[in-house]
């Protein structure tokens, strides 16, 4: 009958039945392990949203659970492939060890680079580069703020240096050495060669990129500004010449042991020698003016003003408080009018140049009473300050510089402490909120905590998503298309979706307060309304609730600054990103797996390949596991049942559609076998010239008869992997359909085609448009299209799989239709109209 | 007295104390937090609280011992135990000792806030009885 089955026949004598069953069992365990890992990743992601209270114990538990599930996956893959991927065991072991080390010890010194360019730094690297530099990198990377070019000598480098100087920075006990002795050792110790070379090289590169030739060398100690605040107690050196950079480094590190710091450390019960000092080297800006901005008045946070102090030249005058400076009060409301200005008589200014280094110079008499900064610059500074405050979710203390061309630079960012007495109390908040109408209360789930004010913009699912900046974006579904406008949004609310979904993850990444699954937000909220979204209590108020907004800004510390939060974020970065997306690409190898997610994706794909191509798959065809599907259409499909995918059939022979218990295959076949989908009659399509396709489409069934081994489905009750070759079209569907959303996903891959390349790429456009209108995330090049969707409900899964079934049938006809670009949209609409008609809407 | 109640939070993990403090204060509870149970017990000897939220496993007196102390000295005060290690035995003992609720970690802030609200209502009713 069929060559494929004949081959099976041959192998039957070898009695592979036992091996086959064992490997199917391994495959099933691998799928379970996969699901478990995905579940744990989703769980950890959800905890990052801030609605949960967790401690370090949770991190330990989830780390151990993940490790166990990953071992399940990798060992089962080894069993299936006969031990082909031993390096994956190493990768899991390495990642697990890194995570455990991070969770177990509180003072983490990430091994690695000695010198790290600022471009590569964000908050993730706080433990390597210190809070100060991490924040500077973060606002450059995520907010696009202008900051000076520079690099950081890491905590790891500091550890290497200190150990060379005979100091153990992790020692818990009181060393006999006095602070003077510790400082002397640091100042006299030679820099390790590699470190000295790294710093010189980095300085050269700064100069190549057009630096001023002078450096600001800034302390960025671990824990500085954090829980134990040593703010302002460490050294910062301005106007350092490149040849003095290494000495400046030693001096800044030595300030770890200044009398003040050691005394303070003792007072807080910390070991005197404990601590590491990452050091930032930033290009000096040729300063026209400089100073400090507070996003709130710390003594009167209810005043709704921004405070700015400004001096001529470098902002050092302001920071030191050594001479009178200009002070301004600006409104926090755009366009940030200047409410009050006090211009001081500024006689001296700090300046730094190559010849004289840092020095004080007299300000020309005629300029002394002129404001140090223009109103335009003040307004830009105000807007930038508030942008940083919104992102950090706390009031901010910002050091700024305006260069000789009038460009604003941010040189330091830290949270602004607010005096306890000045903070609004709970009573005040409760009384205030009771005056505002509540629009939504406790509906759905908080996906990212925070409080935000903005104007509602309801997004239509079909229209392009383009709300004005700072909108409260309201949408029916958590479609991935919303992701594009999230960076500019002040909050996001959706009717459906989950706190573990794709959109929620992006909201957390961008720190945008998000409420999902709110039911009827699109009905209740109207475009243009002013609302305050409290994504802590899950309430939306009509109007602007200032007390609530201020409560958030003046809190003592933010959850995002906690070590536990950072650790979780770091753990997620080691486990959650998926780099291996396309199984057909040459990079899809075990060696390229760098995260747990990569590994499970790879393991799954390898296991499927082994099932399809491996020798052992040729199990006795009369056994219960392998059946041919009997259909009226020429789709020669062989089913391999992992368990629960088919009704029990006695004796040999094929399976009928009614025998299928595999939920995803049933749904897909519903679509594929629906009326008109498989038919190739041109009558359905009113495109002339389609007649040609009918004959060609007829011919497409030709190859099927001779190469039936291409069509294979691996199934269980909830899982389906489908490999279909229809003529020249290769379709792969891999999916999971269960009651629990977190397990559910569809991966759809399409490639190939008989027509010339332009028609094929038009077809790719059509497929992507159709998939996207069903909320798939798509990608692809040329004629390859990959569509993915996950974490949707059972009903949504069934709906999408039926659509995919239809789409597989539809693609057989597409090439011929797509004579020119204008037909792209018509084809999309034709398909959508058909789905719409038949679903009876 | 705070409108919504006086709460003592005891957990050796500062992050738990801090986050509960922020959230409960915003909801107009007056909150005192402790990371050492001996100090918390000293404070309980000085002052009546409506609700005590305590971790189970700590150095010094455990959550169950704190529960016993409260039962003996401030019978109206309600105790909520939060823990990452809920064993059947400890849950049974807590149940027997009159715990208001046993909450496994990690927990959702809203869930805990609503429990604290309920516990406060119960505590105020019982304090009322005591005074009557």
Quote the minimal CA–CA distance from A448 to chain B in Å: 13
State residue A510's pLDDT score.
82
Q: Is A57 on the interface with B (CB under 8 A)?
A: yes
Higher pLDDT, A480 or B72: B72
- Calculate the alpha carbon distances from A582 to A361, A605, A626, A683, A752 in Å: 62, 10, 28, 37, 15
What pLDDT, in 10s, does the model give residues A291-327? Answer: 999 999 888 888 889 999 999 999 888 887 778 899 9
Quote the minimal CA–CA distance from B90 to chain A in Å: 18
Mean pLDDT of A622-638: 76
* B109: chain A residues, CB-CB within 8 Å: 51-53, 536
Contact A52 B2 (CB under 8 A): no
**Is the overall model pTM greater than 0.80, yes or no?**
no
Contact B84 A555 (CB under 8 A): no
Contact A52 B28 (CB under 8 A): no
What pLDDT, in 10s, does the model give residues A699-726? Answer: 333 222 223 345 888 888 899 999 888 7
| Cβ contact B44:B52 at 8 Å | yes
Within a 13 Å sphere around the CA of A537, how many CA atoms are in the beta-carbon half? 23
Higher pLDDT, A437 or A102: A437
Residue A474 has pLDDT above 90, yes or no: yes
Query: Judged by CB atoms within 8 Å, which residues 77-96 of B form the interface with A?
Result: 84-85
User: Can you read off the two tokens belonging to residue A443?
Assistant: 């509906």
Using CA of residue A795, residue A797, residue A803, residue A806, what is the dihedral sign? negative
Quote the minimal CA–CA distance from B13 to chain A in Å: 7
Higher pLDDT, A176 or A791: A791
Mean pLDDT of B78-94: 84
User: Can you read off the two tokens belonging to residue A260?
Assistant: 């003040």
> Where does the pLDDT of residue A690 fall: very low under 50, low under 70, confident under 90, or very high at 90 and above?
very low
Higher pLDDT, A651 or A326: A326
**Chain B contact probe: residue of A55, A424, A563 with most B CBs at under 10 A:** A55
Quote the minimal CA–CA distance from A429 to chain B in Å: 7
State residue A566's pLDDT score.
80
DSSP state of A283: E
Identify the three-state secondary structure at position B99: coil
State residue A699's pLDDT score.
32
Quote the minimal CA–CA distance from A666 to chain B in Å: 38
Residue A511 has pLDDT above 60, yes or no: yes
Q: Which residues contact A649 (CB under 8 A, 6 or more apart)?
A: A624, A627, A655, A659
State residue A175's pLDDT score.
61
Identify the three-state secondary structure at position A222: coil
A657-661 contacts at long range (C-beta below 8 A, 24 or more positions apart): A657/A629, A657/A630, A657/A631, A659/A627, A660/A629, A660/A715, A661/A717
Contact B109 A536 (CB under 8 A): yes
Mean pLDDT of A162-188: 80
> Where does the pLDDT of residue A484 fall: very low under 50, low under 70, confident under 90, or very high at 90 and above?
confident
Contact A55 B15 (CB under 8 A): yes
Q: Is A420 on the interface with B (CB under 8 A)?
A: no
Give CA–CA dist A370/A378, Å, rounded.
Answer: 14
Quote the minimal CA–CA distance from B84 to chain A in Å: 7
* A427: chain B residues, CB-CB within 8 Å: 2-3, 28
**Chain B contact probe: residue of A228, A426, A545, A549 with most B CBs at under 10 A:** A426
Give CA–CA dist A377/A636, Å, rounded.
Answer: 71
| Cβ contact A735:A719 at 8 Å | yes
**Residue of chain B minimizing CA distance to A60:** B84
* A538: chain B residues, CB-CB within 8 Å: 110
DSSP sequence for A114-179: SEEEGGG--GGGHHHHHHHHHHHHHHHHHH------EEEE-HHHHHHHHHHTT--TT--S--S--H
Q: Is A47 on the interface with B (CB under 8 A)?
A: yes
User: Can you read off the two tokens belonging to residue A616?
Assistant: 């052992």
Give CA–CA dist B8/B30, Å, rounded.
Answer: 9
**Beta pairing, strands A539-542 & A530-534:** antiparallel
State residue A232's pLDDT score.
65
A66-72 contacts at long range (C-beta below 8 A, 24 or more positions apart): A66/A37, A66/A40, A66/A41, A66/A96, A66/A99, A66/A575, A66/A596, A67/A92, A67/A96, A69/A33, A69/A36, A69/A37, A69/A40, A70/A33, A70/A37, A70/A96, A70/A596, A70/A599, A70/A600, A72/A29, A72/A30, A72/A32, A72/A33, A72/A36
Mean pLDDT of A578-602: 90
**Beta pairing, strands A514-516 & A471-475:** unpaired
Give CA–CA dist A30/A150, Å, rounded.
Answer: 47
What pLDDT, in 10s, does the model give residues A340-389? Answer: 999 999 998 998 887 787 888 999 999 999 999 999 999 999 999 999 99
Residue A227 has pLDDT above 60, yes or no: no
Give CA–CA dist A599/A597, Å, rounded.
Answer: 5
> Where does the pLDDT of residue A130 fall: very low under 50, low under 70, confident under 90, or very high at 90 and above?
confident
| Cβ contact A646:A659 at 8 Å | yes
**Beta pairing, strands A451-459 & A471-475:** parallel
In the numeric block, the tokens 């950090």 are attached to A392
* A223: chain B residues, CB-CB within 8 Å: none
């Amino acid at each position: 009958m069929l060559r494929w089955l004949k081959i099976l026949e041959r192998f039957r004598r070898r009695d592979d039945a036992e091996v086959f069953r064992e490997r199917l069992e391994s495959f099933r365990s691998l799928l379970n392990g996969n699901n478990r890992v995905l579940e744990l990743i989703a769980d950890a992601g959800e905890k990052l949203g801030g609605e949960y209270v967790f401690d370090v114990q949770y991190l330990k538990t989830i780390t151990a659970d993940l490790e166990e599930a990953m071992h399940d996956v990798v060992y089962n893959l080894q069993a299936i492939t006969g031990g082909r991927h031993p390096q994956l065991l190493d990768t899991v072991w390495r990642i697990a060890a890194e995570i455990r080390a991070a969770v177990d010890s509180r003072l983490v010194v990430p091994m690695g680079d000695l010198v790290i360019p600022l471009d590569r730094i964000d908050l993730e690297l706080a433990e390597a580069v210190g809070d100060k530099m991490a924040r500077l990198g973060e606002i450059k990377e995520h907010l696009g703020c202008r900051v000076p070019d520079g690099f950081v000598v890491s905590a790891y480098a500091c550890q290497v240096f200190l150990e060379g100087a005979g100091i153990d920075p992790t020692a818990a006990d009181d060393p006999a050495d006095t602070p003077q002795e510790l400082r002397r050792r640091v100042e006299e110790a030679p820099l390790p060669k590699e470190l000295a070379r790294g710093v010189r090289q980095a300085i050269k590169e700064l100069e190549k990129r057009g630096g001023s030739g002078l450096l600001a060398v800034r302390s960025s100690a671990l824990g500085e500004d954090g829980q134990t605040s040593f703010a302002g107690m460490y050294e910062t050196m301005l106007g350092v010449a490149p040849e003095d950079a290494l000495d400046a480094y030693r001096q800044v590190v030595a300030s770890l042991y200044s009398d003040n710091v050691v005394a303070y450390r003792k007072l807080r019960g910390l070991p005197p020698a404990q601590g590491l000092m990452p050091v930032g080297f930033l290009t000096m800006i040729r300063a026209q003016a400089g100073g400090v901005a507070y996003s709130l008045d710390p003594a009167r946070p209810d005043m709704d003003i921004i405070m700015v102090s400004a001096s001529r030249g470098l902002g050092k005058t302001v920071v030191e408080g050594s001479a009178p400076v200009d002070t301004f009060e600006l409104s926090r409301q755009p366009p940030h009018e200047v409410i009050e200005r006090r211009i001081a008589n500024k006689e001296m200014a700090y300046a730094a140049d190559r010849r004289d280094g840092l020095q004080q110079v007299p300000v020309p008499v005629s300029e002394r009473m002129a404001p140090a900064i223009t109103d335009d610059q003040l307004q830009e500074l105000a807007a930038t300050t508030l942008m940083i405050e919104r992102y950090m979710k706390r009031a901010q203390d910002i050091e700024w510089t305006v260069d000789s061309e009038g460009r604003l630079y941010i040189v330091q960012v830290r949270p602004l402490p607010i005096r306890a007495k000045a903070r609004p109390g709970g009573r005040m908040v409760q009384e205030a909120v009771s005056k505002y109408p509540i629009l939504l209360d406790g509906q759905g789930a908080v996906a990212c905590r925070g409080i935000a004010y903005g104007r509602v913009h309801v997004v239509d699912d079909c229209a392009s998503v383009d709300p004005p900046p700072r909108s409260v974006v309201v949408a029916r579904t958590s479609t991935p298309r919303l992701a594009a406008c999230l960076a500019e949004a002040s909050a996001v609310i959706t009717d459906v979706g989950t706190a573990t979904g794709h959109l929620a993850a992006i909201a957390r990444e961008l720190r945008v307060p998000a409420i999902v699954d709110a039911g009827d937000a699109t009905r209740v909220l109207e475009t243009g309304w002013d609302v305050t979204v409290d994504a802590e209590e899950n309430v939306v108020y009509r109007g602007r609730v200032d007390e609530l907004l201020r409560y958030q800004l003046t809190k003592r510390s933010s959850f995002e600054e906690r070590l536990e939060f950072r650790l979780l974020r770091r753990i997620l970065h080691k486990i959650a990103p998926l780099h291996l997306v396309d199984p057909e690409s040459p990079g899809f190898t075990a060696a390229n797996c760098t995260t747990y997610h990569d590994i499970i994706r790879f393991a799954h794909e390898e296991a499927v390949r082994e099932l399809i191509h491996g020798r052992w798959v040729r199990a006795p065809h009369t056994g219960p596991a392998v059946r041919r599907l009997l259909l009226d259409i020429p789709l020669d499909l062989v089913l391999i049942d992992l368990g629960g995918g088919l009704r029990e059939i006695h004796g040999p022979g094929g399976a009928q559609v009614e025998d299928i218990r595999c939920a995803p295959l049933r749904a897909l076949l519903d679509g594929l076998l629906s009326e008109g989908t498989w038919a190739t009659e041109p009558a359905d399509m009113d495109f002339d010239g389609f007649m040609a396709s009918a004959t060609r489409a007829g011919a497409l069934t030709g190859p099927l008869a001779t190469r039936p081994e291409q069509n294979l489905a691996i199934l269980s009750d909830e899982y389906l992997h489908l490999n279909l070759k229809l003529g020249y079209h290769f379709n792969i569907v891999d999916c999971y359909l269960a009651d629990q959303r977190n397990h559910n996903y569809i991966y759809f891959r399409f490639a190939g085609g008989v027509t010339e390349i332009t028609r094929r790429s038009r077809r790719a456009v059509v497929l992507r448009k159709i998939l996207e209108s069903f909320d798939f995330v798509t990608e692809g090049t040329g004629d390859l299209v990959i569509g993915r969707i996950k974490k949707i409900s059972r009903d949504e899964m069934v709906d999408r799989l039926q659509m995919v079934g239809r789409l597989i049938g539809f693609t057989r006809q597409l090439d011929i239709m797509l004579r020119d670009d204008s037909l792209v949209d018509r084809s999309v609409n034709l398909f959508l109209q058909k789905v719409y008609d038949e679903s009876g809407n | 007295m705070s409108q919504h109640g006086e709460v003592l939070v005891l957990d050796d993990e500062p992050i738990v104390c801090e986050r509960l403090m922020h959230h409960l204060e915003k909801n107009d509870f007056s909150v005192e937090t402790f990371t050492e149970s001996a100090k918390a017990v000293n404070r309980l000897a000085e002052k009546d609280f409506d609700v005590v939220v305590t971790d189970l496993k700590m150095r010094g007196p455990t959550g169950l011992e704190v529960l016993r102390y409260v039962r003996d000295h401030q019978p109206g005060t309600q105790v909520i135990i939060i823990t990452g290690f809920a064993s059947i035995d400890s849950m049974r003992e807590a149940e027997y000792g009159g715990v208001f609720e046993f909450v496994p970690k990690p927990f959702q802030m809203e869930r805990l806030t609503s429990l604290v609200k309920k516990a406060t209502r119960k505590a105020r009713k019982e304090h009322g009885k005591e005074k009557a």
